[in-house]
Every structure is written in structure tokens, then in C-alpha cells.
Amino acid sequence: MIKRLTILVCFIFAFQVLVFAHSGRPKYHLIVDTDGAIDDFRAITMFLAMSDVRVLAITTSQGTLFPETSAIKVAALLQDFYNEGIPVGVGKLTDFELPVWSEFNKNIIWGENEKNIPIDDFPKATDLLSSTLKNYDYKVTLIALGALTTYADWLSENHDYISKVEKIIWYNDENIKSGFNYLADTSSFETIKKALV
């Protein structure tokens, strides 16, 4: 009996696994803005799956899809992933003409309940950004997966919130003043530049 117990104890110590406690505090605090493109779907699902990332809110800007269409898709995705607590805000309509691939992206289902989500449930994106960060204790990274429209509008209306922004990560071409996400709203890039000076 003692021999078996000794072997068992030796076995446990020989194959022990180090376990590190998780603090529960995320390393990255994000707000994500999307234009509804299929690659945004993939990026958002990855952010939601990361243990060291906290997604505070998701907003939409016009680009591949209209902002309302994107908001419905995001809300359906959040429902399917049991993340309904993450608020979704709708950006403004612009004069930008939707691209030829818009219809293809519109037909991609992001969540089972897409057809049953009322558009009236979504706040204005700029209002959502302000209410989300008003009493938030940590600096936030803004992720722009489409045009910079929503962030530009928000920062130009709420200059005091710049101190709460750690950085803006924008998905665009290496040459900043080119690419679809720049062309979707060229003036928003200049607005962001001025706001951050």
C-alpha cells in the first residue's frame, strides 16, 4: 500500500502542470467600428474569443453596407455568441455609394436572428461612444475596420474624450491615403488627424 502511494505521489510530481491564476482584468479594452464586410465578421469573432480583450461596444460606419444593416448583423452575431451585453450603435448615413460587393456581403448571415432585430433598438453611435467611456476607468483602443467616419464625428463633437483613447488602429492600405476604407470617407481621416494633434 505504501509502495503504491509513493509511486502515485512521484507520478503526480513528475507530471505536474503549472497553473497560473488569471486576474480577470483584460489587457486590452476595445471599441470596434465596422462597415459590415465579411472580414470584419471574422475580426469581431476573434476579438470576442480573446481572454485578454474586453470589447466595450461595437459601432457601425457606412462602407461595404449601410450602418443600419451592419448593426443588425452585429447584434445577431452577439446574440449567437451570448454577448448581448455588448451595446451596438449606428453611425450616420453618408453620400458614399456602396461598392459592387455590397450585395454579396448583405446576404451573408452573421447570426440566426438577423431578420427579427428591430433597427429602433440601436442608439446613435457617437452617443454610445460617449456613454460607454464617460465613467470608464481604463484607456481604450479604437479599432476601425472600415471608414473612420464614426470616430471622426465623435472626436470632433467630444474633444474632451481624446484623453480616454490610448490609440486608434485602422484597417487600411499601407499607403494611408488610398484604399477602400480611406475613399469611403476621405475627410474623416483629416478630422482624426486634427483631433489628435
Print the domain residue range for 143.
37-196
Tell me whether residue 104 is in a domain.
Answer: yes
C-alpha cell at 141: 483602443
Which residues lie below 8 Å from residue 74, measured CB to CB, with a gap of 6+? 34, 44, 58, 60, 88, 110
Domains of the chain: total: 1
Note whether residue 4 is domain-resident.
no
Residue 60 belongs to some domain of the structure: yes
| pLDDT tens track for 15-28 | 554 444 445 689 99
189 in a structural domain: yes
Tens-place pLDDT, residues 75-119: 999 999 999 999 999 999 999 999 999 999 999 999 999 999 998
User: Could you tell me the pLDDT band of residue 8, with boundaries at 50, 70 and 90?
Assistant: very low
Residue 197 predicted with pLDDT over 80: no
* Contact between residue 88 and residue 117 where contact means Cβ atoms under 8 Å apart: no
| Residue showing cell 476621405 | 186
Query: What are the backbone angles phi and psi of residue 31, rounded to the nearest 5°?
Result: -120, 130
Residue 30 covered by a domain: no
Structure confidence at residue 173 as a pLDDT band (50, 70, 90): confident
Higher pLDDT, 4 or 107: 107
Indicate whether 3 belongs to any domain: no
Whether residue 10 lies inside any domain: the answer is no
Query: Integer distance in angstroms from the first to the last C-alpha of the chain?
Result: 74
Burial of 65 (0-12, 13-18, 19+ CB in 10 A): buried
CATH (domain of 108): 3.90.245.10
93 falls within a domain: yes
pTM: 0.86
